[in-house]
Amino acid sequence: MSAAISQVQTVDWHSPAIEARRKSRYAAEARLKAYGLIAIVFALGFLAILIGSLIYSGHKAFVQTVASVEIDLSAAGVDKAKIADANWKGIVKQALLDLGDAKSLPKREQKKYLDIFTDSAAYLVRDAVIADPSRLEGKSTFVIPLSDPFDQLAKGEVSRQTPEAQRRVSDKDIAAFDALVAKGVIAKPFNWGLLFNADSRFPELAGLAGAISGSFWSIVVCFAISFPVGIAAAIYLEEFAPKNRWTDLIEININNLAAVPSVVFGLLGLAVFLGWFGLPRSAPLVGGLVLALMTLPTLIIVTRVSLKAVPGSIREAALGIGASKHEAIFHHILPLAMPTVMTGTIISLARALGETAPLLLIGMNAFMTSAAHGIFDASTALPTQIYIWSDSPERGFVARTSAAILVLLAFLVLMNGIAIFLRQRFERRW
Amino acid sequence: MKALHLTAAALIASAAFAGAAHARDQIKIVGSSTVFPYMQAAAEEFANKSGKPAPVVESTGTGGGFKVFCGGIGPDFPDISNASRAIKDSEVKLCADNGVVDITEAKIGYDGLTIAMDQQAGDLNLTKEQLYKALAAELPDGKGGFVANPNKNWSDIDPSLPNIAITVFGPPPTSGTRDAFVELVMDAGCLKQAGMEELKKSDEKKFKEVCSRMRQDGPFVEAGENDNLIVQRLEADKNAVGIFGYSFLYENSDKLKAAKIEGVDPTEETIADGSYPVARPLFFYVKNAHRDVIPGLKDFLKEATSEEAMGDEGYMVERGLTPLAQDLRDATRKAVEEATKLAAK
């Protein structure tokens, strides 16, 4: 007995060696945890720097310095039948000169003074009156954005301390501007134009409407093509295709295509859609087609995985009570897989929304001052608009570029939010 | 296979659909990124004034623009191509091969190439020869051969220049700005080297090759087509200089200052009167076969060449273009009005 017991090795769990070992094991665990935490802090830190710098440089573009000017149009003698043909330049010029009591100045200084306001002031007033002809009766107030140098001045981007020779606005300009401020006609309201104006060469008028509509139409085309095609391909491969070398080959190819850089799809679009088919350059139709090609492989893979995730018992039960394969798929399997498919689709579309390279190649980085009304109109997209603005010399576009990135990020967050919502609301687990 | 069929069917259907619906009512403009802001202005002004669809202006670079422009005649091809240099013979030929034989050239103004640095940096006064010596890949060794460019600091070239490392941000080869810089500065500086005159006479191709190669060992950095990025880099590195068009210097005059070239500061006056030595003319080219087909094209041409656009106080000039002299402006206007065919070179 005692001999047998002595053969069992007894471990003293409190011996210094064991204590030390336990300590080092705990330490290793703590270290692993710390590494993970550091990695997350690191990643979040970068995200915070990115968003922080965008907000820092872009937040000023969300407000726009404007002047409100009251114009008495009843005295201007505008022909109601031909509003567009009136001498708007003259009318607006007089009104603006009155605003700053600048009528007595010599011609040259008048011109300098008028530079405070956007160059397109006359067109803005004209369009506002065409939209609402009742403004021709009596006085009405128009809101005129200030031109970029003065917008920058009002926002404190131009330091008044820099020597006069080194800034775009002279001391005299600043005095004229300050006089307007003292009169209380200058305000800095939220810059709705950023969302609802089309592009312009003047930063104070440039907006994202063209880019948003172009992105919208591209995504519509992309969805209309990649969603049905992706689902059809996935259903065939998952439910009908025999397992042989050909289907293996197709599968490998689809997986490879999912990893192809997007610029390659852009070149393909340039050669095939523009070259062979002669589709219009810069059109959201072509953008959508290219983006569809890009998202298809991912979509097929996601759909296949979600079809596979539906338990085999459901398929067998349906077939067992006499349903055809078609009925089993469309009545049972696909509806159950749909939440995951929708989530995958939205995430793919979000990726397509942020894609720049293929759109640059098919000319969706053109300048135009009107928004697209359909898939054939030339247009830009959000990421290409960011690209164009980042390359514009005017100072106001620096802030606008960051603001446009924030708008794009907001759309991406919204789409991903919808995807998460769908997943949590409808996804079923087995 | 089903997927393939579906894809093919979708593609063919959409192509047919597009073909039917696609007759163009917008003017299409491609070409140089330097001329882009000026044509942008003309396009916006035109759309605002006439209420017609806004022309589509795309910045493709001068060479890229001619490639598309010369692709053929018809609504699929652009009507106007902007250029920061005159059209090359090879491009005229490419156009002719595709049936584009009737083109009008319109000179709209000048652009000064500026060498600029941060406001806080020291002043620089450079000659073309010094720039060549700073930026060429190989320099002639005086014995008919070439050696890799040994100059690391500006003072290596000339003791009167500051003793700081050469760092120059410039445009990539696809850019018209680069073409102009090579032609106006590099070739000119190269020509002043011993033996190069003879080389140019005996073997022009070789001359072009050695003179226009920019160094790739660090001091010259190709900064992409995005000039705003160059401005940011110059702010970060006070010892660096950048090469870009005058409009960027003009817009960023509170951040940047220009180096004198051959003792001359780039200003609107010196560029216009030709005393600033690194200026180039800017053009656009019109496809005359499109004049009666594309709605609004004639009116747009009138707008783009009007006094209000390219005159002394025109809106293009407000964006940094250096205007032509009055008689040259009239000549351009006349050529565009009468659709004067580009003279064969």
Given A158, A228, A363, which is nearest B254 (Cβ)?
Answer: A158
CB-based contact B226 A158, cutoff 8 Å: no
Give the pLDDT score at A6.
56
Residue B344 within a domain: no
Distance CA A196, CA A371 (A): 10
Domain that holds residue A292: 209-426
- Identify the H or E element spanning A327: helix A325-327
CB-based contact B56 A168, cutoff 8 Å: no
Query: What is the four-CA torsion angle of B299, B304, B306, B308, rounded to 10 degrees?
Result: 120
Same domain, A355 and A406: yes
Same domain, B129 and B243: yes
Share of residues in chain A with pLDDT > 70 (%): 98
- Identify the H or E element spanning B140: strand B138-140
Same domain, B130 and B272: yes
pTM for the whole structure: 0.75
CB-based contact A370 B47, cutoff 8 Å: yes
Task: Single out the residue of A226, A122, A101 nearest to residue B45, CA to CA.
Answer: A122
Same domain, A305 and A337: yes
Query: How confident is the prediction for chain A on average, in pLDDT?
Result: 89
Q: How many CB atoms lie within 10 A of CB A226?
A: 28
Residue B16 within a domain: no
Distance CA A336, CA A329 (A): 10
Residue A151 within a domain: yes
Q: Is pLDDT of B145 > 90?
A: no
- Distance from B68 to chain A by nearest Cα, in Å? 11
- Distance from A31 to chain B by nearest Cα, in Å? 39
The mean pLDDT value for A175-186 works out to 89
Same domain, A76 and A151: yes
Given B19, B48, B51, which is nearest A120 (Cβ)?
Answer: B48
Is A242's Cβ below 8 Å from some Cβ in B? no
Contacts of B76 in chain A (CB under 8 A): 278, 280-281
Given A201, A300, A388, which is nearest B41 (Cβ)?
Answer: A201
Given A168, A278, A282, which is nearest B254 (Cβ)?
Answer: A168
Residue A50 within a domain: yes
- Distance from B322 to chain A by nearest Cα, in Å? 16
Same domain, B119 and B88: no
Same domain, A237 and A149: no
Site from A110, A147, A201 to mutate, B interface, most B CB atoms within 10 angstroms = A201
- Distance from B151 to chain A by nearest Cα, in Å? 32
Residue A375 within a domain: yes
Which residues 338-377 of A are in CB contact (within 8 Å) with B? 363, 365-370, 376
Task: Single out the residue of A384, A205, A355 nearest to residue A282, CA to CA.
Answer: A384
Residue A336 within a domain: yes
Return all residues near A428 (Cβ < 8 A) that are at least 6 apart. A336, A339
Is A404's Cβ below 8 Å from some Cβ in B? no
Site from A368, A379, A385 to mutate, B interface, most B CB atoms within 10 angstroms = A368
Pairing mode of beta strands B56-58, B28-31: parallel
Inter-residue contact B313 to B306 (CB < 8 Å): no
Residue B343 within a domain: no
* Model pLDDT for residues B109-119, shown as the tens digit of each residue: 888 888 888 88
Residue A1 within a domain: no
Q: Is pLDDT of B197 > 50?
A: yes
Given A123, A368, A390, which is nearest B54 (Cβ)?
Answer: A368
Contacts of B247 in chain A (CB under 8 A): 393
Residues counted in chain A: 430
Same domain, A32 and A134: no
Same domain, A302 and A184: no
Evaluated on CA atoms A145, A150, A152, A155, the torsion sign reads negative
Residues counted in chain B: 345
Which residues 36-75 of A are in CB contact (within 8 Å) with B? none
Given B18, B21, B53, which is nearest A370 (Cβ)?
Answer: B53
Please tell me which residue of chain B has the smallest CA distance to A274: B76
Same domain, A391 and A412: yes
Alpha-helix runs per DSSP H in chain B? 2-21, 36-50, 62-69, 89-97, 128-135, 154-157, 176-181, 187-191, 196-202, 204-212, 227-236, 246-251, 268-272, 297-304, 307-310, 315-318, 326-337
Residue B7 within a domain: no
Same domain, B103 and B233: no
Contacts of B6 in chain A (CB under 8 A): 228-229, 232-233
Count of H-run helices and E-run strands, chain A: 18, 4
Given A166, A367, A368, which is nearest B253 (Cβ)?
Answer: A166
Same domain, B167 and B267: yes
Give the number of A-B residue pairs with CB atoms closer than 8 Å: 131
Same domain, B143 and B207: yes
Residue B102 within a domain: yes
Confidence of residue B279 (pLDDT cuts 50, 70, 90): confident
* Model pLDDT for residues A49-91, shown as the tens digit of each residue: 999 999 998 999 999 999 998 888 887 777 777 787 778 888 8
CB-based contact A363 B226, cutoff 8 Å: no
Give the pLDDT score at B19.
45
Task: Single out the residue of A375, A279, A276, A225 nearest to residue B19, CA to CA.
Answer: A279
Please tell me which residue of chain B has the smallest CA distance to A378: B56
CB-based contact B6 A166, cutoff 8 Å: no
Give me A323's structure tokens.
């349903």
Give me A115's structure tokens.
């530079």
- Residue finishing a domain among A189, A220, A246: A189
DSSP state of A188: -
Same domain, B30 and B97: yes
Is A246's Cβ below 8 Å from some Cβ in B? no
Given B10, B14, B43, which is nearest A369 (Cβ)?
Answer: B43
* Model pLDDT for residues A335-360, shown as the tens digit of each residue: 999 988 999 999 999 999 999 999 99
Domain that holds residue B73: 25-111+281-337
Inter-residue contact A263 to A361 (CB < 8 Å): yes
In which region does residue B224 sit, left (phi positive, over 0), alpha (psi from -120 to 50) or beta (all else)?
A: left
Same domain, B104 and B142: no
- Judged by average pLDDT, the poorest of A36-40, B66-70, B87-91, B199-203 is B199-203
Contacts of A114 in chain B (CB under 8 A): none
Give the pLDDT score at B284.
93
Residue A125 within a domain: yes
Same domain, B57 and B107: yes
CB-based contact B54 A168, cutoff 8 Å: no
Contacts of A123 in chain B (CB under 8 A): 48
CATH number where B254 lies: 3.40.190.10
CB-based contact A366 B36, cutoff 8 Å: no
Same domain, A71 and A49: no
CB-based contact B37 A392, cutoff 8 Å: yes
Please tell me which residue of chain A has the smallest CA distance to B50: A84
Q: How many CB atoms lie within 10 A of CB B9?
A: 11
- Distance from B342 to chain A by nearest Cα, in Å? 27
- Distance from B267 to chain A by nearest Cα, in Å? 13
Residue B321 within a domain: yes
Please tell me which residue of chain A has the smallest CA distance to B30: A366
Residue A201 within a domain: no
* ipTM (interface pTM): 0.71
Same domain, B145 and B234: yes
Contacts of A237 in chain B (CB under 8 A): 3
- Residue finishing a domain among B259, B279, B299: B279
Q: How many CB atoms lie within 10 A of CB A36?
A: 10
Same domain, B99 and B143: no
Give me B103's structure tokens.
């083109």
Same domain, A129 and A224: no
CB-based contact A123 B48, cutoff 8 Å: yes
* Model pLDDT for residues A99-148, shown as the tens digit of each residue: 888 888 887 788 888 889 998 888 888 888 888 888 888 888 899 999 98
Same domain, B116 and B249: yes
Residue B178 within a domain: yes
CB-based contact A391 B226, cutoff 8 Å: yes
- Residue finishing a domain among B232, B257, B279: B279
Which residues 91-130 of A are in CB contact (within 8 Å) with B? 119-120, 123
CB-based contact A393 B228, cutoff 8 Å: yes
Same domain, A409 and A315: yes
Same domain, A90 and A144: yes
State CA B50 to chain mean position distance: 29
Given A162, A167, A233, which is nearest B3 (Cβ)?
Answer: A233
* Model pLDDT for residues B3-23, shown as the tens digit of each residue: 545 555 555 455 444 444 456
Confidence of residue B1 (pLDDT cuts 50, 70, 90): very low
Same domain, A227 and A348: yes
Contacts of A370 in chain B (CB under 8 A): 47, 53-54
Residue B89 within a domain: yes
Residue A202 within a domain: no
CATH number where A247 lies: 1.10.3720.10
CB-based contact A229 B3, cutoff 8 Å: yes
Give the pLDDT score at B225.
62
Give the pLDDT score at A74.
80
Number of separate domains in chain A: 3
Please tell me which residue of chain B has the smallest CA distance to A234: B3
- Judged by average pLDDT, the poorest of A243-252, A419-428, B194-203 is B194-203
Give the pLDDT score at B275.
84
Number of separate domains in chain B: 2
